[in-house]
Amino acid sequence: MTSHIYLDHAATTPMRPEAVAAMVAHLDKLGNASSLHASGRAARRVVEESRETVAQALGARPSEVVFTGGGTEADNLAVKGLFWARHTADARRTRVLVSAVEHHAVLDAAQWLAKEAGASLELLPVDRDGRVLVEAARDSIARSPETVAFVSVMWVNNEVGTIQPVASIASIAAEYGIPVHTDAVQAVGQLPVDFSTAGVDALTVTGHKVGGPFGVGALVLRRETSVTPVLHGGGQERDVRSGTLDVPAMAGFAAAIELAVREQAQLAASLSELSSELVRQVLAAVPEAELNGSVGVDRLPGNVHFSFPGCEGDSLLLLLDARGIECSTGSACSAGVAEPSHVLIAMGRDEERARGSLRFSLGHTSTQADVDALGRVIGPVVERARKAGLVNLGGGSR
């Protein structure tokens, strides 16, 4: 059986043994955390202890942690909830300012508001590295601040790894009392993330990107920030997110994020070295490959994103997969969709370059051997993908 080299940690990363143990410890326990009897109170205690752990890891107050079913739900709660709350309070607030390179959980939710709820969506432009232009954001806000419902800019881009100027944009928005949301799903565990100093009003995190389970996440939400619920029912989680609480998942999430934040600096240093070596080996094998996104301290340590001229990203992915190396053409949520990356298009790349790209993302289980395995096969794989492209085009040039 072919051993698999996993270079897709940005899609999901292996669960930490500590998180598995924390989940297993509660899987056979009885009790709904909303019940008042002894079993319910025991379950509630686990939830609140998990909330305290998550809050401490993120520099937040426990009362600011709203548990959700994952990052997508947290993003939707922030985007829709902020818009509805602000627009209801003042009908002039229709403008939604979102970076052009957001994850689809934010971008699609904002587009839905524009189509169905009377919002006016404005995409904040980015530079060639995928970084939001702060002055453009300032101009957009200042043009008519009383009409802005909220701003959403991710902490770090999930495809090309560029770290965004969230604090600068939050500072500008604060001058006008405009709330700011940031999707920090990719950042936690690789970058320092402190809610208390970031200047944002809402922040999204999820369990499975930090070594925890699927299906659990959180929206860290300032107490004074109003959001309209997306889910209605039992009134759990400050009456912001109704639904029976998944006690084992929350325990696993808390264990994972506590460990990820504790080891963040050490992991970041290790991943930076591995990523630099991955870049070196890919360029040695394919000199014409083009690295996308920022470099150095402005890039997520575990992210490497290349465009391979003359290749289709899907072909490269499948050829690498056949050799036991797993990576991504971009966001896993849009895998299989025959569209060029909206991130690369926003960065000014043409469709051919956007289609011929791969993301290699490293995580807590990555090793030098993983990088070396990619380095050995990337050259022949690219050559074969190019030949396949020429055949599909009837032998013509690309």
Cβ atoms < 10 Å from Cβ of 310: 16
**Given 20, 279, 333, 390, the catalytic residue:** 333
For the chain, helix, strand, coil in percent to 5 are 45, 15, 40
DSSP label at residue 221: E
Per the CB < 8 A criterion, the answer to whether 124 and 172 are in contact is no
Consecutive H or E run containing 370? helix 368-392
Rounded distance between C-alpha atoms, residue 89 and residue 73, angstroms: 23
Sign for the CA dihedral angle at 216, 205, 71, 87 comes to positive
∠ Cα 398 288 125 (to 5°):
80
Per the CB < 8 A criterion, the answer to whether 124 and 179 are in contact is no
3-state SS track over 272-323: HHHHHHHHHHHHHHCCCCEECCCCHHHECCCEEEEECCCCCHHHHHHHHHHC
Per the CB < 8 A criterion, the answer to whether 250 and 53 are in contact is no
Sign for the CA dihedral angle at 263, 266, 269, 272 comes to negative
DSSP label at residue 206: E
Active site residue 333: yes
Residues labelled as active-site residues: 333
